[in-house]
Amino acid sequence: MYSQMNGPQKRLSKDAVKVWIISETIASVIGFIILGILLYLDYRFSWKEWIGWILKGLLLLSVLGAVWSWIKSFLLYKSWRYDVNEEFLQLKSGVLNEKYQLVPMTKIQSVATNQGPVLRKYGLCSVSVETMASSHTIPVLPKEAAIELRNQIAHYAKIKEVES
């Protein structure tokens, strides 16, 4: 792709990896706690054998999942690109499965910045864009950049196509 043209160039905030790892770790820890409780209950009340097998299987999967989510955070940061110009919002993401999206500015219905607790701690924001067909999120940007991007998109999206 992009053999003869410029793809999107802008990258996410460097803190993206940190933020993703933190949120993934929180999610994994919660998952492990729940699994741990279930495993304990299984041992304590000697539930049926197959329940134990399923729980052990889930444990293995979650360990693999947690490791993968950390590796993925690095890869995702490396692969994420976005760009805006007067006409299009361009998004590119994904490592194993690459995804390129091209959204005309005139079709954007709304744009917003969002901030969760982890993002707030690092002074970051995500920008989400709603179109007639779908919604897209640019996940981790420095707050000022996010606000600027939001305003820019809002400005470009104000131009309306003659609808036919």
Partner 1 sequence: MIPAKRYHPLLMLFDLWSLLKNNFFIFIILFVIKARPQSPFILYGRILFFIVFGVAFIYFILKWFTHKYELDGRSFHLYKGILIKSERTIPFSKIQNVNRHTSLFHRLFKVTSISFETGMTGEEAAVKFEVISQLESLRMEQHITSEVNDNAMNLSPSEMAVEKVDTTRIIHFKPMKKDILKASFTSLSFLVFIPLLLSFYSKIDDILHVEKETEGIFFYIISSWWIVTTIVVFLIVASVAFGIARTFIKYGKYEISSDRNRIYITKGVIDETAFSIAKEKVQAIEIKQSILKRLLGLAEVKLTSAGSLSFGEETLEINSLYPFLPVQRAYEMVSEILPTYEVTPKMKRLPKKSLWVRLFSPSWIWVIATAVLFYFRPAVFGVGQGWWILSAALLLIIIAIRWLDFIHTKYILNDRFIQHKTGSLTTSLFVSKRDKVIEVKVTRSIFQKWLGLASIETINRAKPIQHNGIEDVPVEFADSFYKWYMGRRNEIEIEIE
Calpha distance 35→8 (Å, rounded):
42
**Contact status, residue 141 vs residue 12, Cβ threshold 8 Å:** yes
Using CB under 8 A, pick the residue from 23, 25, 131, 152 that binds partner 1: 131
Shortest distance (Å) from residue 97 CB to partner 1? 5
3-state SS, residue 141: strand
Using CB under 8 A, pick the residue from 72, 100, 142, 143 that binds partner 1: 100
Rule CB under 8 A: is residue 132 a binding residue for partner 1?
A: yes
Residues 6+ apart with CB under 8 A from 43: none
R_g over Cα of the chain: 21
| Strand partners for 10 | 82
Stretch that binds partner 1, among 35-43, 49-57, 90-98, 138-146 (CB under 8 A): 90-98
3-state SS, residue 158: coil
| Strand partners for 108 | 131
Using CB under 8 A, pick the residue from 40, 98, 120, 137 that binds partner 1: 98
Using CB under 8 A, pick the residue from 30, 87, 110, 114 that binds partner 1: 87
Rule CB under 8 A: is residue 6 a binding residue for partner 1?
A: no
Q: Which tokens sit at 117?
A: 């607790």
Rule CB under 8 A: is residue 128 a binding residue for partner 1?
A: no
Stretch that binds partner 1, among 18-26, 63-71, 75-83, 127-135 (CB under 8 A): 127-135
Q: Please tell me the total number of residues recorded for the chain in this structure.
A: 164
Binding region for partner 1 (CB under 8 A): 1-5, 87-88, 94, 96-104, 106-107, 131-134, 159-164
